[in-house]
Chains A and B, each alone.
Chain A
């Protein structure tokens, strides 16, 4: 390619904006995963509480069994969501790291040009 390369400051700004956007996405993914993790923990506490209380009659035993089934099912659903959220968190962290590294390299290059 014989064309002479010309650089433009708006490109550096653009790369900076992408870095900021990936940081925002990464922070959101961290929060989402933390929220889901807390929900799973809360449900586990609820399940443990229900399990440790002895039912006083058959009505309570049925109610307890229903609650346990419902909460366990809900916990499984949340665990699946959590696994997906953790994957998103890792991917968004990687994207931010890449964007950040690229921005730093571009900034350094730009400083050497001006």
Chain B
């Protein structure tokens, strides 16, 4: 009789442990998926823009520097002064001179360099980036809601699974009806 009771208790204990392990495994799988999706999200955010965007950025940068250099470096009319009035400028900023007179060549050189980079770099349009990020965000939220659902189920069963510090508050604070 006592042997049967012990056996029954052992069975219950075994099933309880199995249930606990199953909940933990479920959460671990989801956490691994969340980590993968987060890494993928970071990759998409960091992905290079389309080639034209990079060229436009480089052109804008050089043109801005050219504009600045035009306000800083001495006006060319100074070199047209008569021999008595003419004094060579004390110092010319080499960068200013470079941007002021060689901007088109710099843009051309940088464009060629950008083209070389894009031979091995895949660019992404901002629309595509936004679409992919939204897709990942939806998957992430789904995974977070599932994780929260399992954590609550485990809490109700008396098992403690600690939440991640970076868990999504939308999942953590969700009403039970909002969870899968």
Contacts and interface: CB of A to CB of B under 8 A. Distances in A.
Interface of A: 1, 3-8, 11-12, 15, 18, 95, 97-99, 101-102, 105-106, 108-110
B31 to A, nearest CB: 13
Given A1-B141, A99-B163, A106 B178 contact: no
A109 B170 contact: yes
Interface in B133-180: 138, 141-142, 145, 162-167, 169-170, 172-178, 180
Contacts of A12: 173
Given A1-B145, A1-B180, A109-B169, A99 B175 contact: no
Interface residues of B, number: 20
B138 A102 contact: no
A14 to B, nearest CB: 9
17 contacts: A1-B138, A3-B178, A7-B174, A7-B175, A7-B178, A8-B175, A8-B176, A11-B172, A12-B173, A15-B172, A95-B162, A97-B165, A101-B165, A101-B166, A102-B172, A105-B169, A110-B169
Interface of B: 138, 141-142, 145, 162-167, 169-170, 172-178, 180
Given A98-B164, A98-B165, A6 B178 contact: yes
Contacts, number: 62
